[in-house]
């Protein structure tokens, strides 16, 4: 029985076209700034996000951490939503790498309000850390793939600007937001100092992210990338896959979103499963199962469905991606129904 894998959109395999792009990639030494494919990717991403410059890095975690290192110094503080990726899934890197203190803020499905950000900014007092950076996430992973409404995003950024904060956007799935909202990714990115995008999630590349921002920030980011071991040599082989994804896999994200809605509707009909289909905006479905998450994961695996615990007492996360078809969705729902019968 072929497994149907909903664990993440990172589990995809390169398509035949992407493999050809990798094989045919023109390369050079990127540490010397001489890899033409990397340079082309960085220029394309910067242009698409409406920012001045960009830097190719191995992972989304490194992109976010380099951005924090650019904006903050030891003893500073970064404001972020309490369920954000930089808090939960980056190995404690904020204090470990930079000596920076995160302040988690309560949000609704990962989205903050102007009022909550304004209240969190500390006054200038030597007893306190300096509030230096606001980090936002779009789409928001633990928020069920929620998309930031543009005007709400703008209002939160304006509060940060008035307080003298820099703004970073963790846009690992920013192109999912672009497709779901029907507005360019630059709509959000241009409001920030730095924005990261990931190519190894919904876009289906095997590895790689890009950090974009003002030219002076990217110059410093290049230094920090080197410090973290992220400078690569003939990296055009990897950048070629990201370029291919940017050119061929953005618009098709709508298929993943439709499949997520299809999955949510199917699961809502399975006895014992609770899912709020109306909350599915992009490619993530969070569902409550009638048994603890690890038990549910093990049971579904026996029936050929792979999923991940979502952090709640009975919650699982299921993510759609380019390796799953509508037929796979229907088959997965049938298997889950049998598993729970």
pLDDT tens track for 256-267: 999 999 999 999
Q: Is the pLDDT of residue 314 over 90?
A: no
Is 101 in contact with 73 (CB distance < 8 Å)? no
CA distance linking residue 18 with residue 111, whole number of Å: 34
Domain limits, CATH 3.40.640.10, in the chain: 16-248
Going 133 to 180 to 198 to 320, the CA torsion angle's sign is: positive
Q: Which of the 8 DSSP states describes residue 148?
A: P
Residue 256 tokens, joined? 């993943």
Residue 155: pLDDT band with limits 50, 70, 90: very high
Phi, psi torsion values for 145, nearest 5 degrees: 70, 30
**Domain limits, CATH 3.90.1150.10, in the chain:** 251-340
Mean pLDDT value across residues 208-232: 98
The CATH code that applies to domain 251-340 is 3.90.1150.10
Note the pLDDT of residue 313: 79
Angle between helices 326-340 and 293-302 (to 10 degrees): 110
Burial of 318 (0-12, 13-18, 19+ CB in 10 A): buried
d(C-alpha 80, C-alpha 152), whole Å: 15
Asked if the model's pLDDT at residue 312 lies above 90, the reply is: no
Work out the pLDDT band at 154, boundaries 50, 70, 90.
Answer: very high
For residue 159, give Cα distances in angstroms to 23, 113, 119, 327: 47, 10, 10, 46
91-143 pLDDT, tens digit per residue, is 999 999 999 999 999 999 999 999 999 999 999 999 999 999 999 999 999 99
The CATH number given to 16-248 is 3.40.640.10
């Amino acid at each position: 029985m072929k497994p149907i894998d909903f664990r993440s959109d990172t589990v995809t395999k390169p398509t035949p076209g992407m493999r050809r792009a990798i094989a045919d990639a023109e390369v050079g030494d990127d540490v010397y700034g001489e890899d033409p494919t990397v340079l082309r990717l960085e220029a394309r991403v910067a242009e698409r996000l409406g920012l001045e410059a960009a830097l190719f890095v191995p992972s989304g975690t490194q992109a976010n951490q380099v951005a924090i290192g650019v904006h903050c110094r030891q003893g500073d503080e970064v404001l972020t939503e309490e369920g954000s990726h930089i808090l939960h899934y980056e190995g404690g890197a904020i204090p470990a790498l930079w000596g920076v203190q995160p302040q988690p803020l309560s949000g609704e499905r990962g989205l903050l309000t102007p009022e909550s950000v304004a209240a969190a900014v500390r006054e200038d007092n030597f007893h306190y850390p300096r509030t230096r950076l606001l980090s936002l996430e779009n789409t928001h992973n633990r928020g069920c793939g929620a998309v930031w409404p543009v005007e709400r995003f703008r209002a939160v950024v304006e509060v940060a600007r008035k307080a003298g904060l820099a703004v970073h956007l963790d846009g690992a799935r920013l192109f999912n937001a672009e497709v779901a909202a029907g507005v360019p990714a630059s709509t959000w990115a241009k409001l920030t100092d730095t924005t990261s995008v990931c190519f190894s999630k919904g876009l289906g590349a095997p590895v790689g992210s890009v950090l974009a921002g003002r030219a002076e920030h990217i110059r410093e980011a290049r230094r920090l990338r080197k410090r973290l071991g992220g400078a690569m040599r003939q990296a055009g082989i990897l950048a070629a896959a990201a370029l291919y994804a940017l050119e061929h896999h953005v618009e098709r994200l709508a298929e993943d979103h439709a499949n997520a809605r299809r999955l949510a509707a199917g699961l809502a009909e399975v006895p014992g499963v609770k899912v709020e289909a109306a909350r599915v905006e992009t490619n993530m479905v969070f569902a409550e199962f009638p048994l603890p998450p690890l038990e549910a994961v093990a049971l579904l695996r026996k029936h050929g469905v792979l999923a991940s615990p979502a952090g709640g007492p009975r919650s699982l996360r299921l993510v759609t991606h380019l390796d799953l078809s509508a037929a796979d969705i229907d088959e997965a729902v049938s298997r889950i129904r049998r598993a729970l019968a």
